[in-house]
């Protein structure tokens, strides 16, 4: 049997490894990393560049253990990371490296607590389950970030669309309208404003407007924005009125938003019914039948 000192040492080492790994992942996988930060890295000292190259090499080597061999799956992973807000070019490598590291760290953390059971079967099951759980944690975090970010993008989208319609009807071009709306929404909806700014930056850098709009749809993953992109692309291709098409799309978006709100409101009643059945009915039966049960007991069995 392993001594208490050895188990304590294992726990301390595991905690140190987890903290160090967490700091490294935060530095490499920080979604707030801007283009200015990357320019500073490129223009920094030689030692800093060597450290960055070493980090990149380590992440790439570890990530190969969890990297899929299918090109479509790798592209899908990159799209998911973009939708979660991770725009760093090394995001996929760090994601795969994190999965491999968590696969090894979680069994290391859980094994000292299972050693006390003195049962090899329980130890093996605990190690396997913790390894699977650690391997799935990065995927759960990324999916949660995607849902949170899409909600932040969708909530102000109807208002942003109205601003786009007003700007286009006032005589601004599509590019100028996106630029104006991104400036207006910078405080109220920073996520959506940033996406519009990226569209303007790509168009200014020479990317065709349909391609920049398609990248916007890919980065967000929202059906509403995808419909807007398709509408703008078709209006530009066939020469129809962009202002009229955007007005129609804005009305449809409002109707869809109202229908979704009504659907969520309609789900409240069934959910409350389940809660009442589980929590209120037992208390009600106890209050109504309790005195009768006590009276029957006293009548047949005596006090």
Gap between the Cα atoms of 247 and 253, Å rounded: 10
SS3 helix, strand, coil % of the chain, rounded to 5? 85, 0, 15
Gap between the Cα atoms of 37 and 87, Å rounded: 13
SS (H, E, C) 169-216: HCCCCHHHHHHHHHHHCCCCCHHHHHHHHHHHHHHHCCCCHHHHHHHH
Please write the tens of the pLDDT for every residue from 218-271: 889 888 888 888 888 888 788 777 888 888 888 888 888 888 888 888 888 888
- Cα angle 185, 188, 190 (rounded to 5 degrees) comes to 70
Predicted pLDDT of residue 46: 45
Predicted pLDDT of residue 162: 85
Gap between the Cα atoms of 91 and 100, Å rounded: 14
Predicted pLDDT of residue 144: 92
What is the domain partition of the chain in residue ranges?
4-144, 157-265
Distance of CA 215 to the CA centre of its chain: 18
Q: Are 181 and 159 in contact (CB under 8 A)?
A: no
The residue with tokens 């703008």 is: 232
Predicted pLDDT of residue 122: 76
Query: What b/e string do you get for 87-122 counting C-beta neighbours within 10 Å, with b at 16 or more?
Result: ebebbbbbbbbbbbbbbebbbbbbbbebbeeeeeee
Predicted pLDDT of residue 47: 47
Fold of 157-265: Receptor-associated Protein (1.20.81)
The residue with tokens 């209120």 is: 280
Segment-wise mean pLDDT, segments of 10 residues, the chain, 303 residues: 53 60 54 51 51 56 58 83 84 82 81 69 80 87 91 87 86 85 87 89 87 89 87 81 81 83 86 85 85 82 65
The residue with tokens 């190259």 is: 53
Tokens of 175: 């590019």
SS (H, E, C) 54-68: HHHHHHHHHHCCCCC
Predicted pLDDT of residue 149: 92
Question: What predicted TM-score, i.e. pTM, was given to this entire model?
Answer: 0.68
The sign of the torsion formed by the CA atoms of 173, 177, 183, 186 equals negative
The Cα-based distances of 56 to 75, 87, 263, 266 in angstroms read 19, 15, 47, 50
């Amino acid at each position: 049997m392993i001594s208490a000192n050895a188990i304590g040492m294992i726990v301390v080492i595991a905690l140190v490894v987890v903290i160090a790994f967490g700091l490294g992942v935060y530095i490499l996988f920080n979604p707030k990393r801007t283009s200015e930060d990357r320019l500073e890295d490129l223009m920094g000292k030689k030692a800093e560049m060597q450290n960055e190259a070493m980090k990149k090499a380590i992440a790439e080597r570890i990530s190969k253990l969890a990297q899929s061999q299918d090109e479509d799956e790798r592209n899908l992973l990159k799209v998911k990371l973009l939708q979660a807000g991770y725009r760093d070019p090394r995001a996929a490598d760090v994601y795969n490296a994190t999965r491999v590291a968590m696969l090894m760290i979680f069994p290391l953390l859980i094994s000292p607590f299972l050693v006390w059971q003195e049962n090899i079967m329980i130890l093996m099951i605990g190690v396997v389950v913790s390894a699977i759980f650690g391997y799935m944690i990065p995927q759960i975090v990324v999916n949660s970030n995607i849902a949170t970010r899409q909600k932040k993008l969708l909530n102000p989208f109807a208002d942003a669309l109205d601003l786009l319609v007003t700007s286009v009807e006032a005589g601004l071009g599509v590019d100028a309208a996106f630029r104006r709306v991104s400036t207006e929404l910078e405080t109220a909806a920073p996520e959506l404003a940033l996406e519009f700014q990226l569209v303007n930056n790509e168009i200014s850098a020479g990317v065709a407007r349909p391609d920049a709009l398609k990248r916007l749809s890919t980065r967000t993953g929202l059906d509403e924005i995808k419909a807007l992109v398709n509408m703008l692309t078709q209006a530009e291709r066939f020469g129809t009125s962009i202002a009229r098409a955007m007005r129609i799309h804005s009305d449809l978006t409002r109707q869809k938003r109202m229908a979704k709100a009504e659907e969520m409101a309609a789900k409240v009643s069934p959910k409350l019914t389940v809660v009442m059945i589980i929590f209120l009915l037992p208390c009600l039966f106890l209050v109504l039948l309790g005195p009768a049960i006590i009276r029957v007991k006293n009548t047949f069995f005596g006090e």
